Amino acid sequence: MEFALVAQTLDILEKTPSKIQQASTLAMLFKKCDPSSIDKVIYFIQGTLWPDWKGMPELGIAEKGIQKAISIALNIPENEVEKLYKSLGDYGLVVERLKISRERKSAGLTAFIKSEKIAEKKLTVDEVYSTLAKIASLQGEGSRDIKIRLLASLLSSANAKEAKFIVRFVEGRLRLGVGDATIMDGLAIAFGTSRDIVERAYNIYPDLGAIAKMLAGQGPQALRNIKPIPGIPLRPMLAERASDPSEILAKAGTPCLAEFKYDGERAQIHKKGKTVWIFSRRLEDITSQYPDVVDAVLKHVKADETIIEGEIVAVDPETGDYRPFQELMHRKRKKDIHEAVKEYPVIVRLFDCLYVDGVDLTLKPLSERREWLKKIVEESEEFRLAEHIVVKDVKELEEFFLKAIESGMEGLVVKSLGPDSVYQAGVRGWLWIKYKRDYKSEMIDTVDLVVVGAFHGKGKRAGSYGALLAAAYDPDTGTFKTVCKVGSGFTDEDLAALPKMFEQYKLSYKHPSVDSDIEADVWFEPRIVMEVIGAELTLSPIHTCCKGWVKPGVGISIRFPRFVRWRPDKSPTEATTTKEIYEIYMKQLKKVTIPSEKPESY
Ligand code: ATP
């Protein structure tokens, strides 16, 4: 399959803001794809070589390396490439521009080649993929030069458009504004199936390349047979939020299950014989950080093959008391993991069971999944089920909530026990409801926002950023809509680190998926998520979040926002959504303007 077809499609996608049109453009490409190469096409569009959970591919070619590769491929001095880059600000455009002028010059020669019927060599998808995979696989001394030469040879065989996208891929900046949701729409259209079927398959088997291959090779029927597989993470089920206990019980139904909400790291634990994998909330393989958890699984889990879920929680090595989530970060940073295991011990609290020895439990009700969990786990202090009770009324729920808070928890997760309480992989729904301490205070709950731009600092903050422009995610349009500027809550160290931290995401223009009426001093790719708390939500004419939802031309913003912490465990599309912001606003509004009881003078 020719790579030119992919490059032409990417060129169209780049200029197509409408998600619907993007999906039909993708569908046209998918229909033309060779079933043996369609997975590689999908990964290329996703800007990766394989799904993240297989380990993030590192191409390891920085800007200078790209510059050199272009100079070798086009046989021109590096400083000329650099000069052009300074004016265009994008190596993709640089190589495209240089290639076009070279192609024009050699137009006469091409005419000769055609007249002589000498076949032009066309770059194939497989060649592009295998060269990029080779680049990613090279490591160690001397590998930098080989990587650059491989890229140069790829660029010299590519035409202008192909070269543009190959360079952008290597830079990790395809800038297409095409998310997984649009790719799924494209697949559903191309292979005549429903979007729900593609999405369910993706939630159980989060590899769009493999799903596309099944669709192209075997048709939609193949997706119906997808089951959880030990070693391949499922997208996690997530909880809705609510603050009123009666509302929680009304939504969850009674009796329901109330569990402690532990402040740790979510762990999806897979076991197959003696092999154990631990996947994070973002489906990263974090097994190497928790050798002690691996040992506990081998010791306490009786099933041969299983997928269970729980929270890994840091505990004080002296007292055994729970420690906050941040303590687990030491495990990621420490070089000697065995030392870290001693210094920062953890325990595991389990809350779900998705698969046991060939049986898919995702479509079974929670009570049945928990029965399995109890059956296959030999509980111990460091590895047992989450603290829980079955509640029937508000009084029981409130008492257990207070117990959770007193025990140092964030609050509770209340779960439906109804017959349809299935495991909704990848879905944030009302079958699980989080009830957190913050809702009890005057403050609103924290929200997770994506940093899309920044403003230069003044005075004490000169040289760094004075504030970050933060946005909520709108899954319907796949865009990030601004909701506030965050300038407080940062420590001096946080502030000093900002420019370096965001350097790699800097853009000279607003990213196509960012919807902002405010002009930031600097734009960023929407990559970094931060947790923010504010005093209240308010209507705002300058922010685009929920614009027009409450009043025409007016959006919703956060008043007095403060930075709480970075959320490296969340991807931008997992940030708080515009719909959630709207719901928080409406709830707050109801509290202020609609008294639940009639006033005395009524
Ligand atoms: P938050 O930012 O509040 O941690 P989140 O967006 O990461 O939430 P949610 O689905 O909204 O995820 O909240 C549930 C999270 O709480 C889970 O991802 C899990 O990490 C954690 N958790 C702690 N205890 C439990 C429990 N008993 N049941 C389910 N999840 C739990």
Q: What's 408's domain CATH number?
A: 3.30.470.30
pLDDT band (50, 70, 90) for residue 108: low
Domain that holds residue 519: 447-589
Ligand 1, atom 13: closest residue by C-alpha: 239
**243 and 276 together in one domain:** yes
The answer to whether residue 597 is domain-embedded is no
Confidence of residue 180 (pLDDT cuts 50, 70, 90): very high
Tens of pLDDT along 447-506? 999 999 999 987 777 888 989 999 999 999 999 999 999 988 888 888 889 999 999 999
Pocket test for ligand 1, best of 248, 260, 261 (most atoms within 8 A of CB): 261
Which residues are designated catalytic? 261
Peptide bond between residue 324 and the one before it cis (omega within 30 degrees of 0): no
Q: What percent of the chain has pLDDT over 70?
A: 94
> Ligand 1: which residue has its CA nearest to atom 3?
434
Q: Token pair for residue 251?
A: 């939504």
Residue 184 lies in a domain: no
CB-defined site of ligand 1, < 6 Å? 238-239, 259-262, 266, 281, 311, 351, 386, 413, 434
Q: How many domains does the chain have?
A: 3
Residue 227 to residues 73, 75, 553, Cα–Cα distance (Å): 46, 52, 46
We report the CATH number of the domain holding residue 541 as 2.40.50.140
Q: How far does residue 389's CA lie from ligand 1's centre (Å)? A: 17
Rounded to 10 deg, the angle between the 195-204 and 208-218 helix axes is 130
Q: Residue with the nearest Cα to atom 5 of ligand 1?
A: 238
Specify whether 339 is located in the same domain as 488: no
Rounded alpha-carbon distances, angstroms, from residue 87 to 79, 93, 161, 387: 13, 10, 19, 60
Tell me the three state secondary structure of residue 403.
Answer: helix
Residue ending a domain, choose from 439, 459, 489: 439
Indicate whether 410 and 458 sit together in one domain: no
Output the CA 273–ligand 1 centroid distance in Å: 28
Pocket test for ligand 1, best of 385, 434, 450 (most atoms within 8 A of CB): 434
The pLDDT-based confidence of 114 (bands split at 50, 70, 90) is low
Residue 308 Cα, ligand 1 centroid: separation in angstroms? 15
Is residue 387 domain-shared with residue 483, that is, in the same domain? no
Residue nearest to atom 22 of ligand 1 (CA): 261
Per the domain annotation, does 1 fall within a domain?
A: no
Domain assignment present for 278: yes
Q: Atom 24 (ligand 1): residue with closest C-alpha?
A: 261
Q: CB-based burial of residue 485 (10 Å sphere; 0-12 exposed, 13-18 middle, 19+ buried)?
A: buried
Distance 386 CA to ligand 1 centre (A): 12
Q: Kind and range of the H or E element at 198?
A: helix 195-204
533 dihedral zone (left: phi>0; alpha: psi -120 to 50; beta): beta
Of 331, 329, 299, 301, the closest CA to residue 230 belongs to 301
Same domain, 360 and 457: no
What's the angle, vertex CA 428, arms to CA 422 and CA 432, rounded to 5? Answer: 55
In which element (H, E) is residue 212 found?
helix 208-218
Long-range contacts of 72-75, Cβ-Cβ distance < 8 Å, separation of 24 or more: 72/148, 72/149, 72/152, 72/156, 73/151, 73/152, 73/153, 73/155, 73/156, 73/163, 74/98, 74/99, 74/102, 74/155, 74/156
361 and 407 in a common domain: yes
In single-letter form, the type of residue at position 276 comes to: V
Structure-block tokens of residue 466: 């004075």
Helix 91-105 vs helix 78-88: crossing angle, to nearest 10: 120
Segment 571-587, tens digit of pLDDT = 999 999 999 999 888 87
Same domain, yes or no, for 372 and 451?
no
Pocket test for ligand 1, best of 238, 401, 415 (most atoms within 8 A of CB): 238
Q: 600 lies in a domain? A: no
Are 434 and 460 part of one and the same domain?
A: no
Q: Mutation test of ligand 1: which of 311, 447, 529 has the most ligand atoms closer than 8 Å to its C-beta?
A: 311
Ligand 1, atom 20, lies closest to the CA of 266
Q: At what angle do helices 160-171 and 125-137 cross, to 10 degrees?
A: 30
> What percent of the chain is modeled with pLDDT above 90?
72
For residue 558, what pLDDT is reported? 87
Identify the CA nearest to 352 among candidates 379, 372, 329, 324: 372
| Same domain (yes/no): 522, 495 | yes
- Of 409, 439, 469, which one is at a domain's C-terminal end? 439
- Segment 584-594 mean pLDDT: 64
Distance 257 CA to ligand 1 centre (A): 15
Q: Tell me the CATH number at 73.
A: 1.10.3260.10
313 and 431 co-located in one domain? yes
Nearest CA to ligand 1 atom 31: 261
Ranges 29-33, 515-519, 594-598: which has the least confidence: 594-598
Last residue of a domain, one of 385, 409, 439: 439
pLDDT at 439: 38
In a domain, 395, yes or no: yes
Residue 2 lies in a domain: no
End-to-end CA distance of the chain: 76
Nearest-atom number in ligand 1 for the CA of 434 is 13
Closest-lying ligand 1 atom to the alpha carbon of residue 281: 18
Name the pTM for this structure.
0.75
Nearest Cα residue to 13 out of 137, 154, 161: 161
Q: pLDDT band at 107, cuts 50/70/90?
A: low
CA distances from 530 to 76, 242, 468, 490, 575 (A): 43, 21, 10, 11, 9
- The token duo for 241 is 């939020």
Residue 265 alpha carbon, nearest atom of ligand 1: 20
- Rounded distance from Cα 310 to ligand 1 centre (Å): 10
E strand residue ranges, 357-463? 359-360, 383-385, 388-391, 411-415, 428-436, 447-456
Q: What's the pLDDT tens digit per position in 39-52?
A: 999 999 999 999 98
Confidence band of 402 (pLDDT split at 50, 70, 90): confident
Q: pLDDT per residue over 302-361, tens digit each? A: 999 999 999 999 998 877 788 878 889 889 887 789 889 998 999 999 999 999 999 999
Rounded to the nearest angstrom, the distance between the alpha carbon of 491 and the centre of ligand 1 is 27
Output the CA torsion sign for 204, 205, 211, 214: negative
* Residue 592 pLDDT: 45
Residue 538 lies in a domain: yes
Is the domain of 249 the same as that of 354? yes
393 and 252 share one domain = yes
Q: How many CB atoms lie within 10 A of CB 304?
A: 14
**From ligand 1's centre to the CA of 470, what distance in Å?**
23
